[in-house]
């Protein structure tokens, strides 16, 4: 196995097969190697162990990432930045070195920062092998906040990444013929590691989508580029099927769509499978803290509402509130252990003590394992609403409301944050503003299909549901 993630590119430095497509452009493996190596030569000798990349979801982010690994440094991907918080971010990560391709557009005066313009020079230069990069264990620091606004920074090592890449190669059968569409931000673990690095690892190709979430445009790209695999959240994919006539698209090359990021019900998964007759729709599961996917795959079949079996070199348990292992089909918190599990959050010892337990991680996700060792996700622990001692999973209420044909999307959450008395609220987006259904009708349908204590106390009709970057529903700060 390679010792450092940069080796997956060095091994392909003479390959002229295309690796990246974006807009009307493309780049082959040799050009990606040259661009990354040439940029690394501009860095020189710097004292900082970490280098910040101001991510703009373009190919320059990938080039800068490999360039940083060439010189044996740790990359820090930052999405949301401005003049006010950039200096504090540099102080937090103990660096003043930054990569950006938009230097002219940002005011850095008086910040005393060492700025590098990301240039794309694909000309071949003499490459002298330098193994100094092997001295750096930490590959990248990514932020994770799920559906909240409070980012935590996860430290991912080269070992974490390389173990994950080999798992993905085996479980999802990706190879040189794979052409994957990357839709969501490059700073997410699913896009960066599960898709981009995994496909580069096997020598395949990638198309980068860098636009607003427009279902029609996405599926036109899938057809035009002959995409073989892509990934979406169930919410995002459901929006696609409800806005498009999928049967009109030639998806003969699309082998699989990986569904993850949030829970998907059996009803939604069946609907998606029916919409994509010749494409395999599979759920998978993973976290930034587990360096991406740790379950599922295309090598075996499992129930459509399950996220599949755990990877071979990973251990999983379902723990109750006393951290005692649950029996089959018994709900509890998911605990994961394995070499791809990261060792902690950057500068957050308090959270590390709460989350990391017995050399594994308490995920905060609620689920269970059946007798065949398939994993099922029920909810996030923090999403659960407790009313009169009874636990309500918002996803269950959402599944009921989504059965209403006029409903385009819904998010259920604890709405009363003032009196501190838990209440179920539902924010609903309809297909049409002038719709023949109203709040009373929706409430009636809920009463007919749910126990009274699970029915929303309040229903709010809205023009759009607020989704976070990965297409997940935001249940907080609504």
Identify which of 471, 478, 477, 474 has the alpha carbon closest to the alpha carbon of residue 191.
471
| Torsion region of 323: left, alpha or beta (phi above 0 gives left; psi -120 to 50 gives alpha) | left
d(Cα 155, Cα 287) in Å, to the nearest integer? 13
- DSSP characters for 384-421? -EEETTEEE-HHHHHHHHTTSTTEEEEEEEE---SS--
pLDDT of 469 higher than 70: no
Q: What is the mean pLDDT of residues 423-429?
A: 92
Half-sphere exposure of 413 (CA within 13 A, CB side): 19
Residue 288 DSSP one-character state: G
**Could you tell me the pTM of the whole model?**
0.87
Phi, psi angles (nearest 5°) of residue 63: -60, -45
Residue whose pair of structure tokens reads 């990357």 in the numeric block: 182
d(Cα 364, Cα 380) in Å, to the nearest integer? 6
Q: Across the chain, what does the average pLDDT equal?
A: 89
Residue whose pair of structure tokens reads 């995920």 in the numeric block: 363
Contact 61, 77 (CB under 8 A): yes
pLDDT of 418 higher than 70: no
What local confidence, expressed as pLDDT, does residue 147 receive?
45
Which residues on neighbouring strands pair with residue 345, listed in sequence order?
154
Q: What distances in angstroms separate CA 13 from CA 32, 170, 328, one per listed residue?
A: 8, 24, 48
Identify which of 283, 282, 302, 304 has the alpha carbon closest to the alpha carbon of residue 374.
302
Residue 444 DSSP one-character state: H
Contact 256, 308 (CB under 8 A): no
Identify which of 41, 230, 238 has the alpha carbon closest to the alpha carbon of residue 125.
41
Contact 69, 6 (CB under 8 A): yes
Contact 15, 32 (CB under 8 A): no
For residue range 320-378, what is the model confidence (pLDDT) as tens digits? Answer: 999 999 999 999 999 999 999 998 999 999 999 999 988 999 999 999 999 999 999 99
Q: What distances in angstroms separate CA 179 from CA 92, 200, 219, 241, one per listed residue?
A: 38, 10, 14, 22
What local confidence, expressed as pLDDT, does residue 205 receive?
98
Residue whose pair of structure tokens reads 């951290």 in the numeric block: 323
What local confidence, expressed as pLDDT, does residue 57 receive?
87
For residue range 128-163, what is the model confidence (pLDDT) as tens digits? Answer: 777 767 778 999 999 986 544 568 999 999 999 999
d(Cα 21, Cα 10) in Å, to the nearest integer? 20
For residue range 71-126, what is the model confidence (pLDDT) as tens digits? Answer: 999 999 998 777 778 888 999 999 999 998 876 655 565 667 888 889 999 999 88
d(Cα 275, Cα 51) in Å, to the nearest integer? 44
Contact 206, 155 (CB under 8 A): no
pLDDT of 433 higher than 80: no
Contact 392, 359 (CB under 8 A): no
For residue range 277-328, what is the model confidence (pLDDT) as tens digits? Answer: 889 999 999 999 999 999 999 988 899 899 999 998 899 999 999 999 999 9
For residue range 163-195, what is the model confidence (pLDDT) as tens digits? Answer: 999 999 999 999 999 999 999 889 899 999 999
Q: What distances in angstroms separate CA 377 from CA 283, 360, 365, one per listed residue?
A: 10, 18, 7
For residue range 8-55, what is the model confidence (pLDDT) as tens digits? Answer: 999 999 999 999 999 999 999 999 999 999 999 988 778 889 999 998
pLDDT of 419 higher than 80: no
What local confidence, expressed as pLDDT, does residue 380 receive?
86
């Amino acid at each position: 196995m390679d010792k450092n993630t940069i080796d997956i590119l060095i091994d392909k430095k003479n390959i002229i097969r295309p690796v990246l497509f974006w807009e009307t452009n493309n780049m082959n493996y040799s050009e990606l190697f040259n661009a990354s190596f040439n940029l690394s030569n501009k860095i020189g000798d710097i004292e900082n162990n970490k280098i910040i990349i101001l991510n703009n979801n373009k190919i320059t982010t990938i080039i800068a990432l490999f360039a940083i690994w060439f010189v044996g440094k740790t990359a820090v991907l930052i999405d949301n930045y401005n003049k006010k918080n950039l200096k504090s971010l540099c102080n937090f990560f103990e660096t003043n070195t930054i990569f950006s391709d938009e230097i002219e557009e940002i005011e850095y005066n008086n910040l005393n920062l060492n700025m590098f313009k990301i240039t794309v020079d694909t000309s071949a230069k003499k490459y002298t092998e330098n193994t100094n990069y092997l001295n750096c264990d930490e590959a990248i620091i990514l932020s994770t906040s799920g559906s909240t606004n409070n980012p935590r920074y996860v430290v991912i090592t080269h070992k974490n990444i390389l173990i994950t890449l080999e798992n993905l190669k085996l479980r999802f059968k990706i190879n040189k013929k794979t052409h994957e569409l990357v839709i969501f931000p490059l700073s997410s673990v699913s896009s960066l590691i599960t898709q981009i690095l995994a496909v580069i690892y096997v020598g395949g190709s990638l198309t980068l989508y860098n636009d607003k979430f427009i279902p029609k445009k996405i599926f036109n790209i899938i057809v035009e580029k002959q995409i073989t695999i892509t990934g979406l959240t169930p919410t995002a994919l459901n929006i696609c099927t409800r806005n498009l006539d999928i049967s009109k698209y030639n998806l003969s090359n699309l082998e699989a769509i990986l569904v993850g990021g949030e829970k998907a019900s059996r009803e939604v998964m069946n609907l998606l499978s029916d919409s994509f007759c010749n494409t395999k729709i599979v759920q998978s599961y993973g976290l930034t803290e587990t360096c991406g996917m740790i379950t599922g795959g295309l090598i075996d079949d499992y129930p459509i509402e399950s996220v599949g079996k755990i990877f071979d070199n990973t251990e999983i348990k379902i723990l109750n509130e006393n951290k005692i292992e649950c029996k089959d089909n018994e709900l509890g918190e998911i605990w994961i252990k394995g070499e791809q599990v990261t060792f902690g959050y950057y500068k957050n010892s308090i959270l590390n003590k709460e989350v990391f337990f017995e050399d594994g991680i308490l995920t905060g996700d609620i689920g269970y394992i059946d007798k065949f060792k398939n994993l099922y996700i029920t909810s996030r622990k923090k999403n659960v609403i407790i009313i009169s001692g009874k636990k309500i999973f918002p996803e269950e209420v959402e599944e009921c409301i989504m059965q209403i044909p006029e409903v385009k999307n819904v998010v259920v959450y604890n709405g009363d944050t003032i009196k501190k008395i838990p209440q179920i609220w539902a924010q609903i987006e309809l297909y049409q503003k002038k719709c023949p259904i109203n709040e009373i009708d929706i409430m009636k349908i809920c009463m007919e299909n749910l126990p009274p204590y699970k029915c929303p106390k309040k229903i709010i009709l809205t023009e759009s549901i607020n989704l976070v970057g990965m297409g997940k529903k935001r249940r907080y700060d609504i």
